[in-house]
Amino acid sequence: MSDALRPEDKALILDFGGVISRTLFETHALSEAALGLPAGTLTWEGPFAPETDALWQAMQADQISERDYWMQRTREVGRLLGEEWTEMQTFVRRARGADVQAVIRPEAVAVIHQAKALGYKLGILSNELDLFYGADFRAPFPLLQRFDVIVDATYTQILKPDPRAYQACLQALGVQAEHAVFVDDQARNIEGAKACGLQAVTFDVFEPAQSFSKAIQRLATL
């Protein structure tokens, strides 16, 4: 790589749900408390116990989409409360309440500030940021203001791993694919990024700090 490459020529691109925010699997206790459900009601655990979550296995096998997975869970939880929920953001808002920052990974906050301090550009590439959280949650959420670009398929309708999703983010950031590191917790999205020429780090929900450290180290070596 060229020694003349400046920090501002590089970019760290992060998925939102699962990478910046903790997964809904990790916050079952908080969700149950917020929804008034008995502890232990929510038993599906996705990557934390895939052998007990057949729906998660179907999603990983590309039999259903990630949106399909969460819509089914949304409907299931709504029915537990005697309600019909038709939008994922209903689940997120009711389960997580008004304080979205409470479920943000502290490791994510640290790496975002670190990347900014080092002069790297920052981007979010999400398939359903506002679809799940609602557009109005951004205003009181100062961490998002640290990002140079947010590309959200809620509006573009171009979902990862479609190459156009990555290309749109790179174009908006003004960086070359080989000068960007992309972090996501879904294998299909990682493979999509690699196919577009990006450096890619698979986010390990069991080792958040290690995953972010690997991404920053990768950027430093470009």
List phi, psi (to 5°) of 86.
-115, 0
Q: Encode pLDDT of 15-47 as tens digits.
A: 999 999 999 999 999 899 999 999 999 999 999
Contact 153, 128 (CB under 8 A): yes
Beta-carbon contacts of 157 under 8 Å, excluding residues fewer than 6 positions away, are none
Contact 7, 120 (CB under 8 A): yes
Tell me what pLDDT residue 47 has.
95
Q: Report domain 7-21+104-220's class.
A: alpha beta
**Residue ranges per domain, the chain?**
7-21+104-220, 28-99
Contact 192, 35 (CB under 8 A): no
How does residue 140 score in pLDDT terms, banded at 50, 70 and 90? low
Tell me what pLDDT residue 2 has.
45
pLDDT of 122 higher than 80: yes
Enter the pTM of the model: 0.91
